[in-house]
Amino acid sequence: MEKLESAGTYIHFETSLDPITALIEEGKYSKVFVFADINTSEHCLPVFREMLDDFSEFDLIETDPGEENKNIDFCIGIWKTLLDFGADRKALMINLGGGVITDMGGFVASTYKRGIDFINIPTTLLSQVDASVGGKTGIDIDNVKNMVGTFTLPKAVFIESAFLKTVPERELLSGFAEMIKHGLIADSAYFERLKAQRFNELPVEEIYRSVQIKNEVVTADPLEKNIRKILNFGHTIGHAVESYSLNNDKKSLTHGEAIAVGMICEAWLSWKNSTLTETELEEVKTYIASVYPAYHIKEKSFKALAKLMQSDKKNENGHILFSLLEKIGKCTYNCRVSETDINESLRFYNSIYAT
C-alpha cells in the first residue's frame, strides 16, 4: 500500500504481508524465528500464517506477555533458545506483537552473536504508532524501563491494521495516547482531527500520519541527542507513574493511561515553565480527561515518583529534564523544572477529579 523510508528501514503500510517473503529470499537467511507472546501467538499468529500461506518454515519462540516480563531473564532464555535452535548470524527474527515483543525481541536480535537481522510486525496500536519507528530496543532492569538496550534499526516494519481487530479497547486507548502526543508536539491540525475521532474506529490514514510524525522526528535525530527528545513529552512523569503503578496498584495503568496522566501534568509544567497559554492548558486537560479514566496520585507517592524520574534517560548532570509544549503543535526540550513544580503539577492533575 504505502512505504515510508526511515533511515534505511522501510516501514510498510500494508494490506498484505507478502513483501516479507521477498525480504526473506533476498536476505538469504539461514533460519527464520518468529518471536511472540502467548497472546499474540494465539490471536495474531493465525492472521500472520494466513497472510503468508506460502511461507511456513519458521521456529516459534514464545514468551509470557506483559511489561513485567520484558526483563533480562527472558532475554537470556531467548538467547539460549536461539543457540539451541542453531541460529547463526544469518538468522532472521520476526517480532510479532506489541511493544514488549518488539523492544525485547529487537534487543535480543541486536546483541545475539553481535547482531542478527530482525523485522518488526507491531500488532497493537501502541506499538504501531510508537515502537514501530526509531530503532529503540530495550528491556527493563529492576523495573527501570528500558534501562538496557540499543539503537538498532529493524530490517523492515510492517503495519497491518488487520491485527488491530485482535486488540482490546483498553489497549487501543493506550496507543491512542501516543497519537494525541504526536499532535500536541508537532501538528495542531492533527490534534484537532483526533479530537473528532473515536479511538476504536481510527481511519488508517490517521495511524499513518502518526507514524509519519514520529519518523520525521527520529530521522532528524536518530540517537536522541536533541530534537528527538520532544517525543518524551508526557513521558517523564508518565513513565514514573507507570512504573509506580506497576509496583503498587492492583490493576496497574496501561502505558497510554500513564502517559495521559503525564501529558496533563507536563502541560501544566508547560504553562508554568514554557509558553503554553492557560486556554491551551485547559483544552489539553479537558480533552485528555474526557478520554481517559481518572487516576489518583497519592501525596505519599510523590517522593518515589521523583526518584523514578531521576533515573530517566533524558537527564543530565543530575537534573530532571522535561520536554515541554511551547504551544499546541510545538514542543521544546531539555527544560529544567524544580521538584516543587513537579509536585504542583501532580496536584493539578489530582484537582481535576477532586469533588
Interface positions with a second copy (CB under 8 A) = 30, 72, 76, 79-80, 83, 86, 88-90, 107, 110-115, 136-138, 141-142, 144, 146-151, 223-224, 310-311, 313-318
Q: Of 57, 48, 100, which is closest to residue 78 (Cα–Cα)?
A: 100
DSSP helix/strand/coil, 147: strand
Residue 114 or 300: the one with the smaller Cβ distance to a second copy is 114
To a second copy, the closest distance from the beta carbon of 196 in angstroms equals: 36
Residue 75 or 267: the one with the smaller Cβ distance to a second copy is 75
Q: Of 214, 149, 147, which is closest to residue 178 (Cα–Cα)?
A: 214
To a second copy, the closest distance from the beta carbon of 303 in angstroms equals: 17
Residue 171 or 312: the one with the smaller Cβ distance to a second copy is 312
Residue 30 or 286: the one with the smaller Cβ distance to a second copy is 30
To a second copy, the closest distance from the beta carbon of 151 in angstroms equals: 6
Residue 55 or 79: the one with the smaller Cβ distance to a second copy is 79
Cell numbers representing residue 303 in the block: 517522593
Distance (Å) of CA 61 to CA 50, 81, 240 = 19, 8, 31
To a second copy, the closest distance from the beta carbon of 92 in angstroms equals: 13
Cell numbers representing residue 227 in the block: 530534537
What is d(CA 145, CA 245) in angstroms, rounded to the nearest whole number? 13
Give the chain's largest Cα–Cα span: 63
Phi, psi of 21 (to 5 degrees): -55, -45
To a second copy, the closest distance from the beta carbon of 240 in angstroms equals: 15
* Exposed / middle / buried, residue 62 (Cβ in 10 Å: 0-12, 13-18, 19+): middle
Residue 79 or 287: the one with the smaller Cβ distance to a second copy is 79
To a second copy, the closest distance from the beta carbon of 179 in angstroms equals: 24
To a second copy, the closest distance from the beta carbon of 108 in angstroms equals: 9
What is d(CA 3, CA 159) in angstroms, rounded to the nearest whole number? 10
What is d(CA 30, CA 9) in angstroms, rounded to the nearest whole number? 21
Residue 192 or 316: the one with the smaller Cβ distance to a second copy is 316
